[in-house]
């Protein structure tokens, strides 16, 4: 039987999230100007980035030293942040070749927490923190509550991905399942919708 501490693979039988309509308002929305801290030490304002930007949103990455939880696995769409991040890492060059000027991961975790995952997973792009929930509230992003790790927020983003063009949301991928195929879904859409 697969151990819950195995962050890199998805166990069988995870509950599948359904489209509850929580993202219907996002397509075509102009992003507000909000600076987000990144794991590479910069402040990133997604609204000001030119061209196409791909942002995948995830609840929280686990850590090898924290055992998983059956309660977390029971939340539809919660499990799989590491496989989702690895998918975007592995397809990073292709995303860029298809017109993504930048790729980011985004969660409500602090930068110090995210940095561990960015380094361990060798991500070629930074992770962004919305730890104060400014972007989450401004865009009315879907969230759920779950016990935090230490001082981390108990508010977690529901998994999705966005393609943003010149500060305007062009495409929303929601719900995302399985998370390890999210990057491939974004790639397929970029191929069908060239720059």
pLDDT digits (tens, 9 = 90+) for 52-81: 999 999 999 888 777 678 899 999 999 999
Tell me if 96 is assigned to some domain. Answer: yes
pLDDT, residue 66, reads: 74
CATH code at 60?
3.40.30.10
81 tagged catalytic: yes
pLDDT, residue 49, reads: 98
> 């508010």: which residue's tokens?
155
Tell me if 30 is assigned to some domain. Answer: no
Tell me if 7 is assigned to some domain. Answer: no
Tell me if 90 is assigned to some domain. Answer: yes
Dihedral sign from CA coordinates of 54, 55, 58, 63 = positive
Q: What average pLDDT does the segment 16-34 reach?
A: 98
Provide the number of structural domains found in the chain. Answer: 1
Catalytic pick among 10, 31, 44, 81 = 81
Tell me if 38 is assigned to some domain. Answer: no
Please give the share of the chain, as a percent, with pLDDT higher than 90.
84
Q: Quick check: pTM over 0.75? A: yes
Tell me if 121 is assigned to some domain. Answer: yes
State both tokens at 121: 């997973």
Between 129 and 68, the more confident residue is 129
Tell me if 100 is assigned to some domain. Answer: yes
Tell me if 79 is assigned to some domain. Answer: yes
What is the extent of the structural domain holding 166? Answer: 54-192
| H helix or E strand, kind and range, residue 37 | strand 35-38
């Amino acid at each position: 039987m697969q151990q819950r501490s195995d962050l890199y693979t998805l166990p069988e039988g995870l509950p599948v999230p359904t489209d509850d309509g929580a993202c219907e308002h996002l397509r075509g929305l102009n992003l507000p100007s909000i600076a987000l801290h990144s794991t590479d030490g910069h402040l990133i304002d997604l609204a000001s980035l030119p061209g196409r930007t791909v942002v995948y949103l995830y609840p929280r990455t686990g850590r090898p030293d924290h055992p998983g939880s059956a309660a977390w696995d029971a939340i539809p769409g919660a499990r799989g942040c590491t496989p989702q991040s690895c998918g975007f890492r592995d397809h990073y060059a292709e995303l860029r070749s298809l017109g993504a000027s930048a790729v980011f991961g985004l969660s409500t975790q602090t930068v110090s927490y995210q940095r561990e995952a960015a380094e361990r997973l060798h991500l070629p792009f930074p992770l962004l923190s919305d730890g104060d929930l400014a972007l989450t509230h401004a865009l009315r992003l879907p969230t759920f509550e779950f016990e935090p790790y230490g001082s981390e927020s108990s508010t977690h983003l529901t998994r999705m991905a966005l393609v943003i063009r010149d500060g305007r949301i062009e495409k929303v991928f929601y719900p995302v399942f399985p998370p390890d195929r999210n990057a491939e879904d974004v790639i397929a859409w970029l191929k069908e919708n060239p720059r």
